[in-house]
Amino acid sequence: MKTLKLFFAVLLLASVTVSRAQNPIIQTKYTADPAPLVYKDTVFLYVGHDEDDATNFKMFNWLLYTSTDMVNWTDHGKIASLHDFSWAPQNGAWAAQVIARNGKFYMYCPIHLKGIGVLVSDSPYGPFKDPLGKPMIFQSINDIDPTVYIDDDGQAYLYWGNPDCWYVKLNKDMISYSGAIVKIDSKPANYQEGPWFYKRAGHYYLAYASTCCPEGIGYAMSDHATGPWIYKGMIMDGNPVSSGNHPGIIDYKGNSYVFGFNYTLNYAKTKTHNERRSVCLANITYNADGTIPKLPFWLTEGVRQLGTLDPYVRTEAETISWASGVKTDKDDEAGMFVTDIDNGDYIRVCGADFKSGAGKFTANVSGLSGGAIELHVDSLKGPVLGQLDVQGNKTAGHWETLTCRIKKVKGVHDIYFVFKGNEGQLFNFNWWKFKKD
């Protein structure tokens, strides 16, 4: 009987699952205007940032998240801001896009009312600098939402605009252009703003936020980079539960994805509409003729994990599939870390492959009032592997690496870090890893 019980206990902790993300994909901040960039083996997701107390658009900076499995996203914090432009006002860090060329990274930033500027960096993580000291494009306040693509022949195109759509040919330096700015006369049906321009399997695509409000995502196709554009339908219809939307589309590891946003986290807190948006993600597919089958509006169920996460290497605490209650911050010693941790808050990390078994858990933390990290697998109320105590008086004010023994766990599991303690903020959390024994 004892052996049988042991067998079932081991079976429970050795299950194999394919994890799925949940929309919206970022919960620690309000995020909008997703601009994914596939660079080497990683998806760099640049987003706009709605401030926590925003009612209308209150956007001061741009944030970066990265992933290699599409379900766990690592928060890199603010990578550029209005302060990077000497000519920018205090508000208006709208929908940017980053593209790589010859080892440099070009970030096209619409500054509301001021036109489109460009920042340059040697790294996708920044720091970014403004080489021009002025907007690259400014015809009117309708110059927003730039999207850029480099064609196979090396010619780069910048499209943008609300409610008209414009394009220009960029020079090889990517910070200047040649020829006239062209307003497209084949503007697709219900084009509003937020164009996303790309080429795939010989077809050119212009996806965009459709006429407001609510905004869905429409798309047009062409045989040429400069059109004419033929409207092909909706990737997703708008939905009254959400006013805006804004596409970003990539292929990654053999799958195709569309990013956009909804207002789910705002409405979870208040009945009032505020511009506090949250980036969402779904799979798309392509028909043989290149058209895109329509998706439902953003579902809560997200995309499947690509591969698994290795729990035996240091993972940043701000690598998150789903978080409840916590925020992220940065300091000189730890870099990014998870903060604002209260009793009952939690973080889920998807699909960690413990292989033949882990017996210890290590975390780098900095105590505040003190508490514990309770380790669950598979669900918030799933089996408890163990608990790492963080003593406020011992670790207060400095980062410390602590280890505890845990029940043996094998196979692939979602991990839930459930935070326990008394009143107030318990501790800050920098990174974690498991050890075999």
Nearer Cβ to ligand FUB, position 39 or 57? 57
Q: Under the criterion CB under 6 A, does residue 69 sit at the interface with ligand FUB?
A: no
Question: Which of 37, 95, 236, 349 touches ligand FUB (CB under 6 A)?
Answer: 95
Contact status, residue 111 vs residue 82, Cβ threshold 8 Å: yes
Q: Under the criterion CB under 6 A, does residue 84 sit at the interface with ligand FUB?
A: no
Contact status, residue 371 vs residue 426, Cβ threshold 8 Å: yes
Q: Under the criterion CB under 6 A, does residue 413 sit at the interface with ligand FUB?
A: no
Give the rounded distance of the alpha carbon of 129 from its chain centre: 22
Question: Which of 62, 65, 85, 94 touches ligand FUB (CB under 6 A)?
Answer: 94
Q: Under the criterion CB under 6 A, does residue 247 sit at the interface with ligand FUB?
A: no
Q: Under the criterion CB under 6 A, does residue 57 sit at the interface with ligand FUB?
A: yes
Contact status, residue 257 vs residue 303, Cβ threshold 8 Å: yes
Nearer Cβ to ligand FUB, position 34 or 370? 34
Tell the smallest beta-carbon distance from residue 393 to ligand FUB (Å). Answer: 44
CB atoms within 10 A of CB 141: 11
Q: Report phi then psi at 221, rounded to 5.
A: -130, 160
Q: Under the criterion CB under 6 A, does residue 376 sit at the interface with ligand FUB?
A: no
Tell the smallest beta-carbon distance from residue 95 to ligand FUB (Å). Answer: 4
Tell the smallest beta-carbon distance from residue 276 to ligand FUB (Å). Answer: 11
Q: Under the criterion CB under 6 A, does residue 33 sit at the interface with ligand FUB?
A: yes
Nearer Cβ to ligand FUB, position 113 or 189? 113
Q: Under the criterion CB under 6 A, does residue 32 sit at the interface with ligand FUB?
A: yes
Tell the smallest beta-carbon distance from residue 253 to ligand FUB (Å). Answer: 27
Q: Report phi then psi at 8, rounded to 5.
A: -70, -35
Q: Residue 372: which residues within 8 A CB-CB, separation 6 or more?
A: 387, 388, 389, 390, 419, 420, 421
Contact status, residue 347 vs residue 322, Cβ threshold 8 Å: yes
Q: Under the criterion CB under 6 A, does residue 244 sit at the interface with ligand FUB?
A: yes
Tell the smallest beta-carbon distance from residue 318 to ligand FUB (Å). Answer: 23
Nearer Cβ to ligand FUB, position 60 or 399? 60
The residue count for binding ligand FUB (CB under 6 A) is 14
Nearer Cβ to ligand FUB, position 144 or 168? 144
Nearer Cβ to ligand FUB, position 36 or 244? 244
Nearer Cβ to ligand FUB, position 277 or 348? 277
Q: Under the criterion CB under 6 A, does residue 144 sit at the interface with ligand FUB?
A: yes
Indicate the DSSP class of residue 249: E
Q: Under the criterion CB under 6 A, does residue 143 sit at the interface with ligand FUB?
A: no
Helix or strand holding residue 434 (H, E): strand 427-435
Tell the smallest beta-carbon distance from residue 297 to ligand FUB (Å). Answer: 16
Question: Which of 69, 75, 193, 345 touches ligand FUB (CB under 6 A)?
Answer: 193
Residues constituting the chain: 437
Buried b (16+ CB within 10 A) or exposed e, 101-116: beeebbbbbbbbebbb
Indicate the DSSP class of residue 83: G
Nearer Cβ to ligand FUB, position 84 or 193? 193
Ranges of beta strands (E only) in 1-51 are 20-22, 30-39, 42-50
Q: Under the criterion CB under 6 A, does residue 194 sit at the interface with ligand FUB?
A: yes
Q: Under the criterion CB under 6 A, does residue 216 sit at the interface with ligand FUB?
A: no
Long-range contacts of residues 160-163, Cβ cutoff 8 Å, at least 24 apart: 160/110, 160/116, 160/195, 161/193, 161/195, 162/192, 162/193, 162/194, 163/191, 163/192, 163/193
Question: Which of 246, 276, 376, 420 touches ligand FUB (CB under 6 A)?
Answer: 246
Nearer Cβ to ligand FUB, position 48 or 238? 48
Nearer Cβ to ligand FUB, position 188 or 244? 244
Contact status, residue 94 vs residue 142, Cβ threshold 8 Å: no
Question: Which of 84, 130, 143, 145 touches ligand FUB (CB under 6 A)?
Answer: 145
Tell the smallest beta-carbon distance from residue 94 to ligand FUB (Å). Answer: 4
Nearer Cβ to ligand FUB, position 109 or 406? 109
CB atoms within 10 A of CB 246: 28
Tell the smallest beta-carbon distance from residue 123 to ligand FUB (Å). Answer: 25
Return the closest-CA partner of residue 36 out of 27, 26, 21.
26
3-class SS of residue 100: strand
What is the torsion angle, in degrees rounded to the nearest 10, for the CA atoms of residue 349, residue 355, residue 356 and residue 361?
-30
d(CA 95, CA 108): 9
Query: Which spans of this chain sit near ligand FUB (rule: CB under 6 A)?
Result: 32-33, 48, 57, 94-95, 110, 144-145, 193-194, 209, 244, 246
